[in-house]
Amino acid sequence: MILGIGTDLANIERIQGTLDRFGDRFKNRVFTDTEQAKAERRRDTAGTYAKRWAAKEACSKALGTGLAMGIAWKDMSVTNLPTGQPVMHVTGWAKDRLDQMTPAGHVAIIHVTLTDDHPWAQAFVVIEANPL
């Protein structure tokens, strides 16, 4: 059963401008230490940040809240499996919201996909509930 779907498109050049203007202040407000470490290791640092920005926006939409209802940027984070597959993690208010959405006797699974084609980065998030 699908609980929520979200998508977002981020402009890589806009994210680069924000990184140039606000640097660590922006990174520390929006991205976890793990996300920052991943982005800083990549040749396309801004593109990596843009994909994760888009994933957070898409996740908040899939949760049915957007970012206006109390979810903090760092309540959603993207890591990668050894295969490279992106994985979305939620904590704090985002986790509380996910728990509220998930029917009794089910477990929620968050699927995320990331892509970029300069100057755009895009993310899709689908939240599904599977019976235990």
| Residues placed in the known binding site for Mg(2+) | 8, 57
* H/E segment holding residue 128: strand 120-131
Query: Closest Cα partner for 76 from 90, 57, 60, 55?
Result: 90
Residue in this structure with the two tokens 């939620």, named with its chain if needed: 90
Sequence ranges of the binding site = 8, 57
Where do the DSSP E strands lie in 12-117?
76-80, 86-90, 106-117
For residues 72 and 114, what is the distance between their CA atoms, to the nearest angstrom?
20
Positive/negative CA dihedral, 98, 1, 58, 44: positive
